A and B are shown apart, each in its own frame.
Chain A
């Protein structure tokens, strides 16, 4: 260090006087409390927001998943459809003329009326519902009449 630089050092008396004269700044306790409360409020708010996201996120994901499952779930009936089970057991060509048509339904209706019908729909009784089922089959567009 040169002689010139050492001349920049303040005198010891001045330095001590400056140190003695310095008092650190102090804020009033009311301001301290207000700042602290504001910080707490902010902290609580962000914590609440995080909690909402933590709760809503999985809920939204679950709802989305449920919706996707609902939309994608196969709603089409199994091959053959619900009709496949209906009258599937027999040929239902009751008059044995090689076709299933309204004449078979008429034959069944006459049998049911005389108390000796055939339970075609499997509900345990031979009644007009069996006639309806056979008639509906006869008018099917997909070949029920053939």
Chain B
């Protein structure tokens, strides 16, 4: 009974809306159309990208890594973190408080035998970001280690890309 009354009320409102629209002068409708068009000065809509994070460990097997990714300029915020390739394809460790902020520390480890660990330029993570104003990102390798826990120097790099269908 109640549902029927609500449906009836909705129908009446729709009909009233339709009549109101029909009765509106052409000039007013033009004004309405204009008002919803974006003004030329409006800031661009935010877009979504990903940042692939690489650790280049040379010929050493990478058993543990930790990097800091930071938007060095512009305005960008982290919206998600996922794994990289191979051994590090699972989601890495990161602080969830980094989401919606411009800085994240990401890390991962593997207890596999050295011969099973990746070496060279390893894609360790993919960080999804929302760009509001053209941003630059910087990556710093905080730690890289061999299977026995020995620390070694490694360099970090990033590659940016646009996820298919992310900015439709």
Contact = CB atoms under 8 A, between A and B. Distances in A.
Given A105-B64, A141-B103, A135 B93 contact: yes
Contacts, number: 71
Given A103-B143, A141-B98, A145-B142, A136 B149 contact: no
Q: Is the interface of B mostly helix, strand, loop or mixed?
A: strand
Interface in A113-146: 113, 131-132, 135-136, 138-142, 144-145
Nearest to A144: B95
Nearest to B105: A139
Interface string B66-87: 1000000000000000000000
B57 interface: no
A136 B65 CA distance: 13
Contact of B107 (A97, A110, A139, A141): A139
Given A107-B149, A138-B107, 8 more contacts: A99-B143, A102-B109, A136-B95, A138-B66, A140-B95, A141-B98, A142-B97, A144-B95
The 10 closest A-B pairs by CB, nearest first: A106-B64, A102-B107, A102-B66, A101-B143, A139-B105, A102-B64, A135-B93, A103-B145, A106-B109, A141-B95
